């Protein structure tokens, strides 16, 4: 993954790699007492799922967790993308200039509705593992969530639609920070700085 020279695998298969990294870290730092896992996107999901199997993980920082399904992405697009388009100046200028492709847009919306209503939700094992993990984890979690990111939007939709997530997200061991204008990877310098500051201050607050 990333800069690694190893074989690229699914995040759902990354548990042995995470365990090996922690084992090696603790072996080389004998006085180490706590592990903080930091993950973005599918790595955030992998960290949360991994916490089920390793009591050494006491703290996690999870940024824009990946929870995608066909139904989820369709719902997010319908709820957020198409609604936002309705309020964009460029959208109305295209209509006024007769430069708007009604048939293509209609087909796209119909396709998203079909995906939302009729997709196969049997392919949800990792989301269920995440739900189980959030319900059982007693350590501390910091969620960092972007405001300009479809993956983050899907995650927020999942949280709002799940009784377990909604209950857990307000518990005192969990904190949530929205970075309203940030994209998925916090690509601008000041967004990266915000993420770094949040992470450092949060870890110091609990473990300094």
The dihedral built from the CA positions of residue 202, 206, 207 and 208, taken in this order, carries a sign that is: positive
| Domain residue extents for the chain | 11-68+124-207, 71-118
Average pLDDT, the chain: 83
Residue 18 · residue 46 · CB < 8 Å: yes
Q: How far apart are the first and last CA of the chain?
A: 31
Q: How far apart are CA 25 and CA 62, in angstroms?
A: 20
DSSP 35: E
Q: What is the mean pLDDT of residues 29-53?
A: 93
Q: What is the mean pLDDT of residues 93-118?
A: 55
Q: In the prediction, which pLDDT does 34 show?
A: 84
Q: What's the pLDDT at 207?
A: 80
Q: How confident is the model at residue 12 (pLDDT cuts 50, 70, 90)?
A: confident
> Residue 124: is its pLDDT beyond 70?
no
Predicted TM-score (pTM) of this structure:
0.74
pLDDT at residue 41 is higher than 80: yes
12 compared with 49, residue with greater pLDDT: 49
Confidence of residue 122 (pLDDT cuts 50, 70, 90): very low
Token pair, residue 142, equals 């910091």
pLDDT at 48: 97
Residues 60-80 have pLDDT tens digits of 999 999 998 766 566 656 665
Domain 11-68+124-207 = CATH 3.40.50.1820 = yes
d(CA 145, CA 130): 16
């Amino acid at each position: 993954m990333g800069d690694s020279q190893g074989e690229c695998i699914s995040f759902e298969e990354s548990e042995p790699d995470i365990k090996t990294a922690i084992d090696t870290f603790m072996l080389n730092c004998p006085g180490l007492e706590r592990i903080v896992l930091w993950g973005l996107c599918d790595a955030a999901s992998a960290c949360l799922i991994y916490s089920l199997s390793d009591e050494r993980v006491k703290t996690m920082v999870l940024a824009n967790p990946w929870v995608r399904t066909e139904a989820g992405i369709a719902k997010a697009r319908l709820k957020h993308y198409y609604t936002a388009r309705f309020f964009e100046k460029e959208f109305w200028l295209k209509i006024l200039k007769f430069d708007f492709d009604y048939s293509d847009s209609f087909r796209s919306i119909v396709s998203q509705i079909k995906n939302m209503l009729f997709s196969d939700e049997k392919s949800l094992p990792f989301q269920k593992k995440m739900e189980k993990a959030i319900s059982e984890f007693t350590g501390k979690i910091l969620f960092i969530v972007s405001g300009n990111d479809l993956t983050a939007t899907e995650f927020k939709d999942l949280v709002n639609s799940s009784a377990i997530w909604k209950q857990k997200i307000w518990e005192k061991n969990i904190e949530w920070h929205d970075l309203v204008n940030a994209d998925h990877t916090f690509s601008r310098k000041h967004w990266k700085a915000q993420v770094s500051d949040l992470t450092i201050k949060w870890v110091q607050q609990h473990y300094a």
